[in-house]
Amino acid sequence: MKQTKLSVAIKATLLGASIVLAPASFAVDKELLDILKANGAITEDQYTELSMSNMMNKQNKPSDEMLKKMAWAGKIKVKGDLRLRNENRSTTNGVSDKGRQRYRARIGVYADITKNVKGGIRLATGDSEGPTSTNETINDRFDRDDVWVDLAYINWEALNGLELIGGKFKQPWEQVSGGMVWDSDLNPEGGALRYTTALGGVDIITTAGVLLMDDGGSSKDDDSTVNFGQIATKFKLAGAKTKLGVSVFDYSLSDELQYNLTNSVDTTDFLGKGNDSTEYQLTEVFGETNLDLGLPVKLYGHYVKNNDADGINSGEDTAWLLGVGTKMGKWKASYDYREVELNSVFAAFNDSDFADGYTDSEGSRWKLSYEINKNFSVGTTYLDTEMGKLTSKGEGDVDTWQIDLVAKF
């Protein structure tokens, strides 16, 4: 993959420091040059120049210690993205109308620490909207904006195909588009394992772990956690790439959090928008298939049931989504429709854009984007949603229109 100017500059600095410390006439090992070129640490011209120098100065090969220092530069990647957004929302109930400009900025450093150990740290913007948003709203009279730790993890491939992940990491499970259970901006914390193997042309991915939402202190009774397990498969059938999976997310909520949920006490980041259940064990089934119908077409679906829903609305415990997407040249388009009952998902963590994050909602999501070039695109999303009478806001329409300009580096 071609590296950005920022990434190359940082790697070149590390490489240059190693060269400065070496004898003036040293030769660079060809295998090392191939690694640095493949990782984008040096350009094609630099590769050619150093290769020629290598041929002329074989007798002055650098020490193993020097080679290790230089190779380290090729194992570091710097990646980031910036999104500018104009968002407008109109409603007919108590959800506030909004016309606002926002941005999201993220930058991370990722390293191959050893052959089987990787790590990463990423910083991101975000205001006080909880774990489901890294957007910064432009409304603070030019004040300096906050930056938060968005990722901080170690991934250790202890055995072939078996990954152990700890810290604050990207969602390790397989899923389909829509964010019906987990908003795409949310990065959980805790520990997970992921095992991938192949059996008869079918890739089997098993994921399990424990996520710590809130450490209540010395007593485990005060902790709020999510235990999860998933098995997913990827395979080709009649030329179509298909993914199927089933997951269980078992929430264990502290007494304090349960009280806040049932009494609408807004003293915790985990207060869901719409929920009134105190128990959540979500079982989900999802699938996706990619077809070639002259144009590539993706069909996907998602079904969720809260097996432990309690309270007066315990029957409001299911959610479903059906969607379709396609790509034509530099254009991408998708559409999905969903219905999310009041206690079907944990509303503090689901898609925060759909009906402003409230459950007891249904409606459509339309997306369209255009790739101006490889790392620069423009897109728009329209969410046409309806909220039911069971939420604190009552029945009403919530329509949201977003226009995004995205740059990756």
Instruction: For residue 83, count other CB atoms closer than 10 A to its CB.
Output: 19
Three-class HEC string of 358-399: CCCEEEEEEEEEEEEECCEEEEEEEEEEEECCCCCCCCEEEE
3-state secondary structure of 374: coil
Kindly indicate the confidence band of residue 90, based on its pLDDT and cuts at 50, 70 and 90: very high
**Residues 388/360, Cβ–Cβ less than 8 Å:** yes
Q: What is the mean pLDDT of residues 61-83?
A: 77
**Residues 307/319, Cβ–Cβ less than 8 Å:** no
More confident residue, 358 or 260: 358
* pLDDT above 90 (res 208): yes
| Mean pLDDT, the chain, whole residue set | 86
pLDDT number for residue 74: 76
* pLDDT above 70 (res 323): yes
Superfamily for the 81-408 domain: Porin (2.40.160.10)
Tokens representing residue 285 in the block: 């089934």
Q: What is the mean pLDDT of residues 178-203?
A: 96
pLDDT number for residue 185: 95
Q: What is the mean pLDDT of residues 123-133?
A: 86
Give residue 1's identity as a one-letter amino acid code. M
User: Which percentage of the chain shows pLDDT scores above 90?
Assistant: 66
Q: What does the alpha-carbon distance between residue 212 and residue 191 come to, in Å, rounded to a whole number?
A: 9
**Residues 175/188, Cβ–Cβ less than 8 Å:** no
Tokens representing residue 329 in the block: 């040249």
- Cα distances from 236 to residues 147, 195, 244, in angstroms, run 42, 20, 11
pLDDT number for residue 180: 97
More confident residue, 27 or 295: 295
* pLDDT above 70 (res 227): yes
pTM for this prediction: 0.83
Going by C-alpha positions, the residue among 175, 174, 153, 173 that lies closest to residue 165 is 153
Q: What is the mean pLDDT of residues 362-386?
A: 97
Q: What does the alpha-carbon distance between residue 196 and residue 205 come to, in Å, rounded to a whole number?
A: 5
Q: What does the alpha-carbon distance between residue 38 and residue 75 come to, in Å, rounded to a whole number?
A: 10
User: Which percentage of the chain shows pLDDT scores above 70?
Assistant: 80
Q: What is the mean pLDDT of residues 310-333?
A: 97
Q: What does the alpha-carbon distance between residue 287 and residue 307 come to, in Å, rounded to a whole number?
A: 20
pLDDT number for residue 31: 65
More confident residue, 59 or 68: 68
Q: What is the DSSP letter of 45?
A: H
Q: What does the alpha-carbon distance between residue 136 and residue 96 come to, in Å, rounded to a whole number?
A: 18
Q: What is the mean pLDDT of residues 22-40?
A: 59
End-to-end CA distance of the chain, in Å? Answer: 12
Kindly indicate the confidence band of residue 75, based on its pLDDT and cuts at 50, 70 and 90: confident
Q: What does the alpha-carbon distance between residue 130 and residue 361 come to, in Å, rounded to a whole number?
A: 20
3-state secondary structure of 62: coil
pLDDT number for residue 24: 37
Least confident of 111-115, 238-242, 261-265, 289-293: 261-265
Sign of CA dihedral 268, 272, 276, 279: negative
Q: What is the mean pLDDT of residues 84-101?
A: 91
The torsion of the CA quartet 361, 398, 97, 150, rounded to 10 degrees, works out to 60
pLDDT number for residue 223: 85
**Could you tell me the residue ranges of all domains in the chain?**
5-73, 81-408
3-state secondary structure of 276: coil
Q: What does the alpha-carbon distance between residue 149 and residue 77 come to, in Å, rounded to a whole number?
A: 18
* pLDDT above 50 (res 26): no
pLDDT digits (tens, 9 = 90+) for 275-319: 889 999 999 999 999 999 999 999 999 999 999 999 999 999 999
Q: What does the alpha-carbon distance between residue 275 and residue 392 come to, in Å, rounded to a whole number?
A: 10
pLDDT number for residue 393: 87
* pLDDT above 60 (res 58): no
Sign of CA dihedral 298, 344, 383, 402: negative
Q: What does the alpha-carbon distance between residue 137 and residue 143 come to, in Å, rounded to a whole number?
A: 11
